[in-house]
Structure 1
């Protein structure tokens, strides 16, 4: 019959990485449990010494009591150091386990495909890095209690056997019941804790959404509706936590109740033995403490079951959902690089369908010669952003092929491919920290001169120098200390500092005022010289500046040519221009 649940092999492997430190802690914990098991014998000796002193009080002999009292002090002094050692080494191991796991999780997450995050709430993933990791480290506590608890229980039983063999039967009779109780509780706790972890992940996701969208919530006056939804999730989480609490709370008192039953049986058997002259008060005192030691040991074992159930739930989320996640359709693992990459980009009959079945591109073909620009225009959902995603190898084509300088992109190392490119997104994301850290994100070895030149090209050097009078101002979370235009210009500088061969501009000037837009637009077009450039255009003026224009509709190419050529064709693009010129829609509404 198994008392303790078996460790998940993945948890065991993680613990082995820190085994040297854990082993020291477990040795200390084992000695602590052993010393606790010796206590019943000391109680017997102390009671006997007190009884002898009472019988010999006329002589005033307390020598034996002095010896026993001294032994108690020495025992607990030694136990203090072992207890302290167990706590120190196991805490160190737990912290190292946590640090190692967080690093592995982040490394894995950053290697995940874009589709992984599009299918999950960010808060749920974040919950694994916070809540689940904190619970996971308690596996070290499981090791401690699984060593200290059984040693304490078994040691106490042996002491009872030494003091009075007949009374050990009372202790032995209760042990199978305690084992059954612990096993049943562990099964219930595993299911209950899995639900708690799942609910906490959902709640974390909702919390993050509401904090990020607080401006929208306030703007629409939706506070009551949002709070109502949030309260519902809080209450659902609370309900699962309360169900888990019922399972946890039932174990300790049940173990105590069984211990009390065993102690009552001990009293009765002790009474019969006393009548027969086979038991005295000192032995009984030691036996009573021995039963308490068994009871205490099984409480620790019960704690192991509960904690291990929590660890297993966290392990499932950490490993199954992240560390051991297998991509349904992994990217082709190309290894080639192009020493003299010129920047030619070609799509040959490319089609693409997202994992959820949404068709994004249908038989798309085009060629962008080195150093030229191509504007992608079309309504939302026409496939413009998907083309950029395929170029960056966030996804691989479902059909057809993409080539760089004539080489299939699937044969090329994805990291090398991205190293030749840079993007200025429409919605800028900046990291907490200073300006220089953000600028050098993709080019950590960039010199100060290179950074300064990129800032000047993006017309960002002026406000960077004036920001608090420093060259490296702190931006705050996601650049909250900057205006939208300032953030956009830093994003442009971040792209230019890499000196990319292929540049993707997702309407990079959309957040700028008229004056800044004019300066930055000129700087961008100057920087495009010698670079292959994809322009995801949302405005006619942007599209018109490109060498060629690709008009997309529902994932298919409907027209291609220069601005002048497309106007002469009098097709879809010309109709867009006509609608804009006649004032029916604004420039931003054309595409």
Structure 2
């Protein structure tokens, strides 16, 4: 486990906390890097010996000895390269996996309102594309940078040992090389962040279109979507091209300066060989070291571009990790008893969505639901019925007022503890990619197969499950696409039955069912309700006739409370809704 991020640190420093736990692997990778860099530098000395003792001196014995040593060093280099590649790649894969887990785990703890303001496709892009980019940098680019940095330092040292005068020619050019890297580095980082944002927008648009493909095709919207997608792609291309252009200019300037210095060095060294101040082998070794240093500088300049891209990706990932949930565990927390009665009291409740300021969704609501009783919420769209269920589940906290569970303010309760006692069946039931068994067991992961079967039987779902190709082990597809609306609804009810909660929230749970299925499910719900506190949002008369009380809501306020017959006689709004929406004709 890693510690929570320090939001005052830079994104790269925050990301480093995922690397620190693996100090042993880092040490092994560094040792392998140092070993391979030293071997590479040592190979050049064998080149010098081969030239001076073998080619120039004409000694076959010396040449044979030098070649033998060269082969041995090359084998050691191969071993060191294996160790370096393995441990650096291991670090890249491990750290990427840890970051993905940390980001996903944090996302699951964020309040639902966060996902209303941030597109799911962009969030998915950050977890996949951005972490893959980080994996490339940690598992490859960082290794290349460190290896070439060691070669650069070692090469400069050997250059000094071989010929200090020539080395000064190389060192004079270093400030000229560093300049473009600093100048273009910041621009590359900014463009990299912009590129990742545009790529995320492309991914989000693709995901949305695919998820709603039936609507897209039903409205013949393909041509318009293609045009909009092309605009997204072209914007991403333009930003990426600007980034590539900046990196290309940086690399071109660096390489031009490096090889200009190399040409000047070879000319000066050639004059020294002609005058007898150095041997041909020394010049050869010097040239090889100089080329090595030049190549190292060039490689580092390219890697800096990758690091800038990674910095942009890291910023986006750390933004997710730094996102704060508006629904938190209180301190101190008030524990709920293991067995609750389920009495709900709603006092002076007021709530306004941040996206609709000035329009309260719940406005001064007072309502009491005795333990074990049933309450139906009815009213026109926008009356605040679904919002009230969200507040009971503490998906949001009210602006003022309170919701009491057995006399305890739910804001003082751990949300996990609160939701342990509540089951929700929504108007559009959520199905997950997996089997029938897995989707029902979502209500209680430790339930036995027999308990799952019993819950499905109680929800009148067994009949259609048995007709599926693989019965209980049939895969439902993404979002349960292989099921009808009524089948999804019955599985969701089975999931709630399996959880066996004290409080049951039904948000138009029978709205997607045909008359026969509705009758069956209604009987299942009626068997489930006794002894449980139940709040039902329903538009159908059959659903609300047998509840203990009906609450009529309008514009976030309670306008009437009573039985069906009482409200038909005393409340014009309920009577109108009954005639329009509860009609059995």
Shorter-normalised TM range: over 0.9
CA distance in 2, matches of 1:383, 1:7: 41
Deviation, 1:129, is 0.9
Partner of 1:349: 348
Q: Deviations over 1:540-570 (max 9, x none)?
A: 3323332211111111122221111111104
Deviation, 1:203, is 1.5
User: 1:65 is matched with which residue: 60, 63, 69?
Assistant: 63
User: 2:78 is matched with which residue: 77, 80, 86?
Assistant: 80
1:7 and 1:428, CA in 2 relative to 1: closer, same or farther beyond 3 A? closer
Whether contact under 8 Å (2:112, 2:395) holds in the other structure is yes
Partner of 1:561: 562
Q: Deviations over 1:557-585 (max 9, x none)?
A: 2222111111110421112234568xxxx
CA distance in 2, matches of 1:216, 1:587: 30
Whether contact under 8 Å (2:379, 2:577) holds in the other structure is no
1:425 and 1:401, CA in 2 relative to 1: closer, same or farther beyond 3 A? same
CA distance in 1, matches of 2:146, 2:380: 66
Which secondary structure state, in structure 1, belongs to the residue aligned with residue 512 of structure 2?
coil
User: 2:36 is matched with which residue: 32, 39, 43?
Assistant: 32
CA distance in 1, matches of 2:270, 2:30: 40
TM score, norm. by length of structure 2: 0.93
Alignment map for 1:313-328 (pairs within 5 Å): 313-320=312-319, 322-327=320-325
User: 1:109 is matched with which residue: 107, 113, 135?
Assistant: 107
Partner of 2:3: none
Whether contact under 8 Å (1:189, 1:247) holds in the other structure is yes
Which secondary structure state, in structure 2, belongs to the residue aligned with residue 279 of structure 1?
coil
Partner of 2:512: 511
Alignment map for 1:360-379 (pairs within 5 Å): 360-379=361-380
Question: Tell me, which stretches of 5 or more residues in structure 2 are unaligned?
Answer: 1-9
Choose 30-39 or 486-495, whichever is displaced more. Answer: 30-39
Query: Cα RMSD over matched residues?
Result: 2.0
Question: Tell me, which stretches of 5 or more residues in structure 1 are unaligned?
Answer: 1-5
Partner of 2:45: 41
CA distance in 1, matches of 2:514, 2:466: 20
Whether contact under 8 Å (2:369, 2:375) holds in the other structure is yes
User: 2:118 is matched with which residue: 112, 117, 120?
Assistant: 120
CA distance in 2, matches of 1:279, 1:209: 70
Q: Deviations over 1:124-161 (max 9, x none)?
A: 11111101111222234454234211211121222222
Partner of 2:7: none
Deviation, 1:278, is 0.8
1:579 and 1:65, CA in 2 relative to 1: closer, same or farther beyond 3 A? closer
Partner of 2:194: 195
Q: Deviations over 1:267-305 (max 9, x none)?
A: 331243234321332222222111101111112321331
Which secondary structure state, in structure 2, belongs to the residue aligned with residue 349 of structure 1?
strand
CA distance in 2, matches of 1:491, 1:355: 30
Choose 111-120 or 279-288, whichever is displaced more. Answer: 279-288
Deviation, 1:587, is 7.4
Is it true that 1:359 corresponds to 2:363 in the alignment?
no
Deviation, 1:469, is 5.0
Which secondary structure state, in structure 2, belongs to the residue aligned with residue 359 of structure 1?
coil
Partner of 1:139: 138
Partner of 1:18: 22
Partner of 1:265: 264
Deviation, 1:359, is 2.0
Partner of 1:417: 418
1:553 and 1:307, CA in 2 relative to 1: closer, same or farther beyond 3 A? same
CA distance in 1, matches of 2:45, 2:507: 79
Whether contact under 8 Å (1:344, 1:405) holds in the other structure is yes
1:564 and 1:122, CA in 2 relative to 1: closer, same or farther beyond 3 A? same
Partner of 1:481: 482
Deviation, 1:68, is 1.7
Which secondary structure state, in structure 1, belongs to the residue aligned with residue 253 of structure 2?
helix
CA distance in 1, matches of 2:412, 2:121: 35
Structure 1 segments, 4+ long, off by >6 Å, are none
Deviation, 1:331, is 6.4
Deviation, 1:89, is 0.7
Partner of 1:3: none
Q: Deviations over 1:1-46 (max 9, x none)?
A: xxxxx98221222111222112211211122122222333322222
Whether contact under 8 Å (1:496, 1:527) holds in the other structure is yes
Alignment map for 1:180-191 (pairs within 5 Å): 180-191=179-190
CA distance in 1, matches of 2:153, 2:229: 49
Deviation, 1:111, is 0.6
Q: Deviations over 1:218-257 (max 9, x none)?
A: 0001111111111100111111111111122233333321
Which secondary structure state, in structure 2, belongs to the residue aligned with residue 14 of structure 1?
coil
Whether contact under 8 Å (1:170, 1:262) holds in the other structure is yes
TM score, norm. by length of structure 1: 0.92
Is it true that 1:532 corresponds to 2:533 in the alignment?
yes
Whether contact under 8 Å (1:29, 1:148) holds in the other structure is yes
Whether contact under 8 Å (1:183, 1:305) holds in the other structure is no
Which secondary structure state, in structure 2, belongs to the residue aligned with residue 351 of structure 1?
strand
Partner of 2:178: 179
CA distance in 2, matches of 1:313, 1:492: 44
